[in-house]
Amino acid sequence: MSFFSDMNAAADRNNSLVCVGLDPDFRKLPECVKGAAKPFFEFNKAIVDATRDLVSCYKPQAAYYAGCGREDELLATIEYIHENAPGVPVILDVKRGDIGSTAEQYAREAFERYNADAVTVNPYMGYDTLKPFLDYADKGVIILCRTSNPNSGDLQSLVCDGLPIYKHVAKLVRDKWNANGNAAIVVGATYPEELQELRQLCPELPFLVPGVGAQGGDVEKVVRFGCTADGKGLMINSSRGIIFAGKDDDFAEASRKAAMALRDQINSFRK
């Protein structure tokens, strides 16, 4: 099975386009897990148990673990998802992008050390930096295109040969970089008009869409502008809006309610 076939199967099974970002911040963790030997893992475990029937995938951001020396809890989280939410794939959000020999090691890290099902990568240095990831044909490679952060346009909106850079990236993914059918692009919910343009440009390419929830992206526009013709094609990510929906002992129940609310809101706009 490939990442995208697993993701689509989970989306169909759970009737969901929701991707939950597992980005634990110790300062925001409920007191009931802070004292655990592995607080990030215990927190994530509870979130996964509460939401695994409501999502199409999970997306841990590696920096939240590596920044405080908790890579073992990242690995434990991914292993737990594979064992206890079978068929729900994991995107490792690392946004890697370096020369080919270094990229080979980053690809090994993502797909062999962590056994992630997909990874996020940065295309700024060109195809040779992406090829080591794309060569893992059964893994997803999700390429930054039009990102959700406020200053993404500093580079992504620069015009070259009549098109903004982000459209050049999308065309390269569509026409040259997706030989194995395992590529997707990141398109922020905070830029719905650009999302609509990119869907017209890439009618079948999967999009990872961050920026709903805490970043304020418009869910209706994301769904109406971003879905493929069959009402799929999106992994709509919410991190803080789901995992920190509650602060007390019932935080997992609160996360379930938030994930269900987002799933139902998305589905209300799907064709």
96 backbone dihedrals φ, ψ, rounded to 5°? -75, 155
Residue length, the chain? Answer: 271
Single-letter amino acid code for the residue at 71: E
Which string of DSSP letters, residue by residue, matches 45-91? Answer: HHHHHHHTTS-SEEEEBTHHHHTTT-HHHHHHHHHHHHHHSTT--BE
Read off the tokens for 113.
């050390």
Of 38, 95, 131, 221, the catalytic one is 95
Q: Which letter, b or e, does each residue of 172-189 get, where b requires 16 or more Cβ atoms within 10 Å of its Cβ?
A: bbbeebbeeebbbbbbbb
95 noted as active-site residue: yes
- Cβ atoms < 10 Å from Cβ of 80: 16
Can you say how many angstroms the Cα of residue 168 is from the centroid of all Cα atoms in its chain?
21
Point out the residues that are catalytic: 95
